[in-house]
Homo-oligomer: A and B are copies of this chain.
C-alpha cells in the first residue's frame, strides 16, 4: 500500500474522459495516477530519478537522488489547441490538443561540504534547494509526462543511476511484448498475460534471434501494447527521446526478487548494480522504467536546463484509436528544419533481396581472410563473380524502377569492405566513399537521372559509430556530388566504442547527430538497427524511415509469424514509420539457395501492407523477375501512394486484423488495405468516407478463395468495378492474407 497521498492535483483531457492526478506521498515522493472514463489505467505510481555517485561530485556533479523529500512549490495548468501540418504523414493536418499541468517540486537537502575530492571528512553541511518540474499533458487519447530540470545553482550536472518511473497496471492485462534488450528489438512479439511474462521469457529470448540478451526475467520493451479484460487498450511508450537513454520496462510480478538475473543469449552481459536500490519495489503488475546503460553501467549524464523524454500512456476502449493516435508526434517539438522542400515520400526497389535470399553477395572478392581498407588495391583483387552491386545489374534495377514509377533504387554492397564487416570488433570497416571496381558511381547515377530515377545510398556502419562519424561529412559530400538524396544506414553488430549499446544515451545522440548532419546536406535518413523511434520525425522529418523491429528480412531468417504485421502498427509504428520492405510475391526462398525459410504471407496480404504499415518510404522488395510473373498484382504497388491527406482506420484488433483507408495526397483517390493473422478474416468495408456524388474506379486485389499463406500464397483475384459513397465491399481475407483496393476518382 502506498502511504497517504497529499496535495492531489488533477488535470483532465479536453473531452473529460481521461484524468491524471498528481500527489506527494507523506515522505515527499511524487506520485501520479490515471483514469479513463472512471476506470483505473495507471494506479498510484511513483516518479523519480536515482542519481549515481561520482568521483567528480565535489566539483559540481550532484549525487542526491531526485526521489523523495519533495514539496510542491507551484502548480501551473494550461490548455493548448493547435493544428499543424506534417511534412509527410497519414493525414494532411494534425491537431495537438491537450490540457497541461506543470508541477514544480522543491527538494531541500542538507549536504556535507567536502574540502576536495577524496577527502571524506565533513566540513559541516549546507542546505541545497533543487527544483524539478513534472509536466503532464493530457490528451483525449492518452497522456505524457516528463521530468524537467530548470537551470539552477544547486542542480547543474548529474549522472543517472536509474529512472524510477512506475506504471502500476490495474490488473493482469494481456500484453504484446518484446524481451528487454539493450541492442535489438528484432524479436517476435509475445502475447501473454502480464503474469505470464516471466514464464515465457526464456522461450521468447531463444525465438529466432540468437543475439538477444535480456536485462531481467520480466524486462520488456516499449511501445508495449496491452488490453484489459474489460476491453481497454493501453499502450506505454515514450516520445522525444533525444539525448537520453532508451527506456525499457521491468515488470514487478509476484516473483520479483532478483532484479538482475541474466538469461540466455550471449550478448551484452548485464552487470548488476553494485548495491540494490534503496527504494522498495511497488506492488505486482507495476512496470518500472529501466534505462539503457553505457559502457560503465551508468544510464545518463545530464546538464541543466534539460528534460527527459515524455513517458506516454495511450488509452481507449476502441483499438483503432491506438493506430490513429498522434500522441507521440504531438509530444515532439515542431519541425526544426527551415527548408523541407527536398524531403519527399519515396517508393523504391533495390539490389538487396537477392542478397538476402542468397542469389548474390554484398562482397566482391574471396581473396583475403580479412580486409584492411588501406592495404587493398581493389583493381587487382580477384572478383568472386557473385557481387550484386555491379554496373550491369544496377542498370537493370534502374530500368525496372523507371518502367514502374518507382522513385529510387537502393544498392547495397556498392562500397568496399563487405568481405568482413560485422561482429569482429573491426573499427575501420567501411569508408563510405570508395566503390567496388565494378560499380561506376558516376555513370550509374547519371544513367539513373537520365531515366528519372535516383539511387538510394547505403551506409552500413557495422555499428562502428565512431568510424561513421569520422567519415560522415565526406560521405554526405559524395552523395551531394552524385545526386543521392536519401541514405539507408545500418547498425548491425556490437557498438564500437566497445561496451556501449544501441539504445544508450550516447548512441541515441549519435543517431540524432547523423540525422542533423544529413539534413544539412539535404539527405533523408532510413536508419536500420538503430534505436526504436519516439516520434522525432516530427522535429526532423528527414528521418523518413527506420527498422528497429523484425522486418521482412526475417522471412529469410526463419520467418515472421502471420500476425506479426497486425501487431507492429500497435507497437513499433507508434514512434514513427518503419521501412518494413513489403512486397514479397515469391514466398518460398529456396529458388536460389538451400534456404528453407519462407514468407508467411499471401500476395494480396503483402499488397495490404502498403496501407496498414504506414510509411512515407515504401519498398517493392522482391526481385524484378519475380514481379514479372505477377504484373497484374504488381500494378497495385505501382499505383499506391505513400503520402496521405487522410486516413480512416476501419477496424483493428492487435494481432488479429487491421483495415485502413487512406486518401492519397493532393488527389481524390483512396486506397484501402486489410491485413489479418493466420486465422483469416472477413470484413465489410463501408465506403462512407468517399465524396458524395462522385464515382470511383475500384480495383480489388483479394485473396482467392483457396489462398493460404503457406499452401497457396500466390492465389489472388483482381476485380474491377465502379463504386460510390456508401457502397460496401465484402472482403474475405485468407489465413495470413489480406486485400488491397484502389479507388480512383472519376
Q: How far is the CA of A513 from the CA of B55 in the complex (A)?
A: 30
Contact A294:B509 (CB < 8 A) given known A61-B424, A370-B304: no
The closest CB in chain B to the CB of A265 belongs to B118
Question: Is the pair A56, B424 in contact by a Cβ cutoff of 8 Å?
Answer: yes
Asked if B59 and A424 sit within 8 Å, CB to CB, the answer is yes
B118 touching A266, Cβ below 8 Å: yes
A296 at the interface (CB under 8 A from B): yes
Residues on B with C-beta less than 8 A from A294 are: 497-499
Residues in B neighbouring A425, C-beta threshold 8 A: 54, 56, 61, 157, 159, 301
The minimal Cβ–Cβ distance linking A135 to chain B, given in whole angstroms, is 19
Least Cβ–Cβ distance between A733 and chain B, in angstroms: 37
Chain B residues with Cβ below 8 Å from A151 are 368-370
CB <8 Å contact, A369 and B466: no
A372 CB → nearest B CB, Å: 7
Nearest chain B residue, comparing its CB with the CB of A302 = B425
**Which of B157, B210, B370, B466 is in CB contact (< 8 Å) with A469?**
B466
**With A and B bound together, what is the CA distance between A513 and B59 in angstroms?**
31
Using CB atoms, name the residue of chain B closest to A306: B372
Main secondary structure on chain A at its contact with chain B?
Answer: loop
From B61, B116, B210, B420, contact of A118 by CB (8 A): B210
| Residues in B neighbouring A117, C-beta threshold 8 A | 210, 266
Asked if B469 and A426 make an inter-chain contact with CB atoms under 8 angstroms apart, the answer reads no
Distance in angstroms between the alpha carbons of A705 and B589 in the assembled complex? 94
- Does A305 lie within 8 Å of B423, measured CB to CB? no
For chain A, the bracket of interface size reads: 35 or more
Residues of B within 8 A of A303 (CB): 370, 372, 424, 426
Whether A304 lies near B159 (C-beta < 8 A) is no
Judge whether A497 and B295 touch: CB under 8 Å. Answer: yes
Nearest B residue to A513 by beta-carbon distance? B470
Docked Cα-Cα span, A295 to B295, in Å, equals 6
Residue A470 contacts which of B59, B159, B469 (CB distance < 8 angstroms)? B469
A304, B295: Cα distance in complex, Å: 26
Asked if A340 lies at the interface with its beta carbon under 8 angstroms from chain B, I say no
Given A61-B425, A424-B59, A466-B466: A499 and B116 interface contact (C-beta under 8 Å): no
Q: Distance in Å from the Cβ of A480 to the closest Cβ of chain B?
A: 15
Complex CA gap A473/B157 in Å reads 29
A369 touches B156 (CB 8 A): yes
CB distance A426 to B509 under 8 Å?
no
For residue A506, CB closer than 8 A to chain B, the reply is yes
* A16 adjacent to chain B (CB < 8 Å): no
CB of A298 within 8 Å of the partner chain: yes
Residue of B nearest to A472 (CB): B470
CA distance A265 to B469 in the complex (A): 34
B residues within 8 A CB of A304?
A: 369-370
A427 within 8 A of B: yes
Of all chain B residues, which has the CB nearest A210? B117
Asked, given contacts A210-B117, A295-B296, whether A498 binds B370 with beta carbons under 8 Å apart, the answer is: no
Distance in Å: Cβ of A461 to nearest Cβ of chain B: 15
- Residues on the B chain within 8 Å of A368, using CB: 151
Q: Say yes or no: B499 contacts A295, CB within 8 Å.
A: yes
A455 to B304, CA, bound (A): 35
> A256 on the interface (CB 8 Å rule)?
no
Question: Are B506 and A370 neighbours in the complex by a CB distance under 8 Å?
Answer: no
Q: Does A500 contact B (CB under 8 A)?
A: yes
Complex Cα distance, B60 from A426, in Å, reads 12
Give bound CA distance, A494 to B117, whole Å. 15
Interface residues of A in 70-128 (CB under 8 A from B): 116-118
Task: Check if B153 sits within 8 Å of A369, measured CB to CB.
Answer: yes
User: How many whole Å from A388's CB to the nearest CB in chain B?
Assistant: 22
Interfacial residues of chain A within 486-527, with CB under 8 A of chain B in the complex: 494, 497-500, 506, 509, 513
- Given the interface pairs A370-B303, A497-B500, the reply to whether A424 lies near B210 with Cβ below 8 Å is no
Do A424 and B473 touch (CB < 8 A)?
Answer: no
Measured between alpha carbons, how far is A428 from B298 in the docked complex, in Å?
18
A267 located at the interface, meaning its Cβ lies under 8 Å from any Cβ of chain B in the complex: yes
Query: Shortest distance in angstroms between A623's beta carbon and chain B's nearest beta carbon?
Result: 28
CB distance from A426 to the nearest CB of B (A): 6
Tell me whether A722 is interfacial, beta carbon within 8 Å: no
Q: Tell me, rounded to whole Å, the shortest Cβ–Cβ distance linking A151 to chain B.
A: 6
CA distance A23 to B157 in the complex (A): 56
Q: How far is the CA of A550 from the CA of B370 in the complex (A)?
A: 42
**A512 CA / B507 CA spacing, docked (Å):** 24
Q: C-beta contact mask, A43-59 vs B, less than 8 Å → 1, else 0?
A: 00000000000111001
A198 to chain B, nearest CB (A): 21
A303 to B426, CA, bound (A): 8
| Those 10 A-B pairs whose CB atoms lie nearest each other, nearest first | A295-B295, A301-B425, A55-B266, A296-B499, A295-B499, A157-B424, A156-B369, A497-B497, A156-B370, A118-B266
Interface residues of A (CB under 8 A from B): 54-56, 59-61, 116-118, 151-153, 156-157, 159, 210, 264-267, 294-296, 298, 301, 303-305, 368-370, 372, 375, 420, 423-427, 466, 469-470, 473, 494, 497-500, 506, 509, 513
- 7 intermolecular pairs with C-beta atoms under 8 Å apart: A54-B425, A55-B267, A151-B370, A159-B425, A294-B499, A296-B499, A497-B500
